[in-house]
Structure 1
Amino acid sequence: MKIRTWALLVVSGLLAGAVLIMQVIIAPMLLTEANEADRNAVEENVLRTTNFLEKEKDGLLRQTIDWAEWDDSHQFITGDFDNYEELNLDDDMLANIRVQQIVFLDQDGELFFEKGIDGEGDRLDQPETFFRELEEHAVAGDTSFFEESNHGLMMMTSHPITRNDGSDPQGTLLMGRLVDEQYTAMLADTLSVDVALLSDERLMSLQEANKINSTYAITEGTVLSVAGERFYYDSQSANLIHLQLTAGAALLVIAGLFFAAFRYFIGMPVTRLAEQVKQIDPAVGGEVNTYGRNAETIQLEREINTMLANIREANQEISKMAYRDQLTGLGNRFYLTSQFDAFLTKHDGRAALLFFDLDGFKKVNDTWGHDTGDKLLQQAARRLEEHFDVSRFITARVGGDEFAVLMAYDSEEDIRKAGAEVIEMIERVYSFGTYLASVSASVGISMYPNDAGSLSELLKTADAAMYEVKQSGKGRTMLYQELKAQSEKRKPMDRNA
């Protein structure tokens, strides 16, 4: 066999081997990882969608509680406020608070009053079975649930109707929000997520090759679909094609050099080819660095590094969206959870949580609209962020108008001082051009590990202390330990009663 024929066979074998490795090992591995990254991105969007719906229910429940624990509502259900519907339940008011269905049940659990309007301001007529289902939920004590209606799925919340001080319960107030295509369009726009109610048309669109999707079942009969572009997969596929073309061109160049070397230097060791192949083989790491510096390897290095940089940027953006509140820029509940253990380690396993919401915020929203309410939340967040040192404090927005401050402390005096500073900051006047607004803060404080053994328990106990503040006067602070002490004092009285 001629040596040139032998050389040609060797080069052909190398080219075939390189192609085989690329197609059988490297390409499936990279595409599998890219597909998994796309799947994880969609599942993160499902989680964000789920959390959004939970926050919506919490916000609607707090709104329902505000209306239910209102003297005007109490007078209306007892028949002592004839103009209540005209003054408080007109179409503009319901649209402003994003309520499509409001229902009053009397003390016997029977329908006393109901009104429903859709997003276009048209009347919602519901069957008697719908209201019977609501009555059963109220009797069962369900505070938030989903219920099917003639107009689609309804997110419902309920609370007993009482006076402002929580006394003299007289029936139940229920508020509902339609989860329809218009609502899901708002949800998709808010979260920048491709989400819609599952339908035949939707199923057809999800079959597109460039889509990856998942679903979230709100109820047995209602399913949300969450879809996303195959960003990583498409990007990786394009880069693989480019990588294959570039590698093929590089191998052809090597083959040409090999034959030229044979022409001028007969008997040159075949290892010369292996060395050149080694020189253009990239090292795997945070950044690709080639051993050779010829044009092909330099180009390949740049393209791979560009791809890695794009992936890093995308991951950073996803992390930012997952852990930051989009309105205020503060950390959200997930960020607080992710930093909690490290914060405890840094500060000797001790921390205090200041949990508060904005008293009077509903009035600002109802009076000047949600845009003004959003601006107020942003100003409040900036005050907290500018005041508290990040080395000892973590500030977060955990709900509609709810905030949390996780702090390191040396003494109880430090905690009370921080609570007083929060109240002082929140109570400063907020300026919106030609008009001013004021709110206050009710601060509940819980300490780790004295009051709770986890972040969720810390939030729960701090919320209980905050609720007690709101019930007993607002605009001040209370430690959960004080609430426990009050409860202990009441126990002997309860037993004697």
Structure 2
Amino acid sequence: MQIPLKELQFYKNFDELARDILDMAKEFMPDRLIYLTTFTDKHQVIIKLSETSREIHIIEGMVIEITETVCNRIDFDNNRPLIFEDMSKETKLDDLRKALIGANINSYLGVPILLSNGKAFGTLCAVHTDANEFSTKSIKMLQNIAKLFAYYLNLERLAYRDSLTGLYNRQFLHKYFEDSPAGGGVLFFLDLDGFKKVNDLYGHDTGDLVLREVALRLDQFVQQHQGFAVRLGGDEFIINMIDLSDKDEISQYAESLLARLSSWDTQLEALQLSVSIGIELYPPHASNLLDTLLKNADNALYRAKANGKNGYQFFS
């Protein structure tokens, strides 16, 4: 799982540290423009620049199709930097030639920033308008700076992620409602039906595998919609979706979740493993209402289980 941009805003001193990272890199490459990027599934986002350049046409917040970026050519699997000392002579960059000319970049060093889970966060890059050589020392130094930044990202990530599943944890959910939404939305409170039997019959290792699989399916669900998934603990999960209030549409999402979590392999199928869902809508500016929302959603979840499980109920 990657780090979404909405998560970065909760990291302590992120802007300050990003600035320090760029200043440190600038000490070793004073004539280069240095910048930090992050990736989404389809885009590269320029997070921070060492300075504003009139010559190089890159700005903070710029969003670029990932297939149209040089950084997409970096070997993240083997954690290797990408170096072009004279891009005008690189025939393998012909498909990016127009974009490079538009940005006025002719030499490039891109270093991968990798998280502890092996996922690519983004890149630390140094560029210039002219063809330029990169010394072995400067390349190594940029790699070391990228490692320091990745170490910080991993520490912050641990504070907001569930260690077993990689989903967000309760702390992130509270932080989100304290700091973020002005708009309304909906909470889905999910609890697995029959999970205790999995642990009793097959052991906790199998139970952990089930929880990871549930987390994967929930993460795939929220990637397709506007929201995020949380593991509260045990076999309890939350999905938060914003700007959603139509009950018919919410019911369709609930049906989709039921379908996603009711199909298992033959071993688990015999246990009739499924999910029950309690649903609570919340109004705009609900920053101080999370405990009440969770209580109401849990109440609706209790009624869903009382009605035969593998279903959903709205709180009312």
Q: 1:480 to 1:383 in 2, by over 3 A?
A: same
The 2-side partners of 1:306 and 1:451 are apart by 43
In the alignment of these two chains, the number of paired residues is 194
Q: Does 1:424 align with 2:259?
A: yes
Match for residue 154 of structure 2?
Answer: 317
1:449 shift after superposition: 1.9
Change (3 A) 1:289 1:456: farther
Q: CA deviation at 1:287?
A: 4.2
Q: Is 2:154 the counterpart of 1:415?
A: no
Going from structure 1 to structure 2, the CA distance change for 1:388 and 1:478 (only over 3 Å counts) comes to same
Instruction: Point out where structure 1 has 5 or more consecutive residues left out of the alignment.
Output: 1-40, 42-282, 482-497
Aligned to 1:473: 308
Is the aligned partner of 1:284 residue 2:23? yes
Q: Is 1:455 equivalent to 2:290 in the alignment?
A: yes
Contact kept? 1:443, 1:469, Cα under 8 Å: yes
Shift of 1:400: 0.7
Whether the 8 Å CA contact 1:442–1:475 is kept in 2: the answer is yes
Q: Do 1:355 and 1:404's aligned partners in 2 also have CA atoms closer than 8 Å?
A: yes
- In structure 2, the CA distance between the partners of 1:357 and 1:430, relative to structure 1 (3 Å rule), is farther
Task: Give SS of 2:27's match.
Answer: coil
- Change in Cα spacing, 1:284 to 1:353, as seen in structure 2 (3 Å) is same
Structure 2: which 5+ residue stretches go unaligned? 1-11, 13-21, 33-134
Deviation at 1:379, TM superposition (A): 2.0
Tell me how large the CA RMSD over aligned residues is. Answer: 3.5
Q: Report sequence identity in percent.
A: 33
Q: CA deviation at 1:410?
A: 4.3
CA distance in 1, matches of 2:289, 2:26: 39
Which of 206, 210, 217 in structure 2 is aligned with 1:383? 217
On the 8 A contact 1:429/1:437 being kept in 2, the answer is no
The answer to whether structure 1 residue 364 and structure 2 residue 198 are counterparts is: yes
Compare relative contact order (CA 8 Å, sep 6+) and give the higher one, 1 or 2.
2
Asked if 1:331 corresponds to 2:168, the answer is: yes
SS in 2 for 1:398: strand
SS in 2 for 1:407: strand
Give the Cα separation in 2 of the matches to 1:478 and 1:449.
18
- 1:350 is aligned to 184
Give yes or no for contact 2:161–2:172 (8 Å, CA) kept in 1: yes
How does the TM-score come out when normalised to structure 2? 0.52
On the 8 A contact 2:276/2:309 being kept in 1, the answer is yes
Q: TM-score, normalised by structure 1?
A: 0.34
| Cα separation, partners in 2 of 1:369 and 1:289, compared to 1, 3 Å | same
Distance in 1 (CA, whole Å) between partners of 2:27 and 2:190 is 49
Which has the larger strand fraction? 2
Q: Deviations over 1:364-384 (max 9, x none)?
A: 111111111112112222222
**1:379-420 deviation digits (Å, cap 9, x = unpaired):** 222222223335512112111101111113141111122122
